[in-house]
């Protein structure tokens, strides 16, 4: 269960970053409110997962999911570069998250 909470927390991290992009520097109310809501949910779920997952592993996986998810969202929805080297480094992040998961007790 803590790993599921951690992965959901990572997805909410992606959601708040995307909402932040849409908030235009908190000048648009609805995306700004969603940013804060998604941040709170993400942090809360991260804190719950840390009850059973070591802090360094949980934080690394959480930020990795967030980073990879936002890079993918940027490529799919915001016209960001899909350069092969960028995809290679994205895969390194994903492998790092996977490595942290399988090496954790």
Q: What is the pLDDT of residues 15-58, one digit of tens each?
A: 999 999 999 999 999 999 999 999 999 999 999 999 999 999 99
Whether the pLDDT of residue 104 is over 80: the answer is no
Looking at residue 21, what is its pLDDT? 96
- Mean pLDDT (the chain) is 95
pLDDT at 101 over 90: no
pLDDT of 11 > 80? The answer is: yes
Q: Are 13 and 65 in contact, with CB atoms under 8 Å apart?
A: yes
In angstroms, the CA 82 to CA 85 distance is 8
Give CA–CA dist 97/9, Å, rounded. 14
State how far the Cα of 96 lies from the Cα of 81, in Å rounded to an integer. Answer: 22
Backbone angles phi, psi at 78, to 5 degrees: -120, 10
């Amino acid at each position: 269960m803590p790993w599921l909470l951690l992965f959901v927390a990572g997805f909410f991290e992606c959601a708040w970053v995307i909402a932040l992009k849409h908030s235009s520097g908190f000048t648009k109310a609805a995306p700004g409110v969603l940013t804060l809501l998604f941040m709170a949910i993400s942090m809360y779920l991260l804190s719950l997962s840390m009850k059973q997952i070591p802090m360094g592993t949980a934080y690394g996986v959480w930020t990795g999911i967030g980073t990879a998810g936002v890079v993918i969202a940027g490529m799919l929805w915001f016209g960001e570069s899909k350069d092969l080297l960028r995809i290679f480094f994205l895969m390194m992040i994903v492998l790092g998250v996977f490595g942290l998961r399988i090496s954790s007790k």
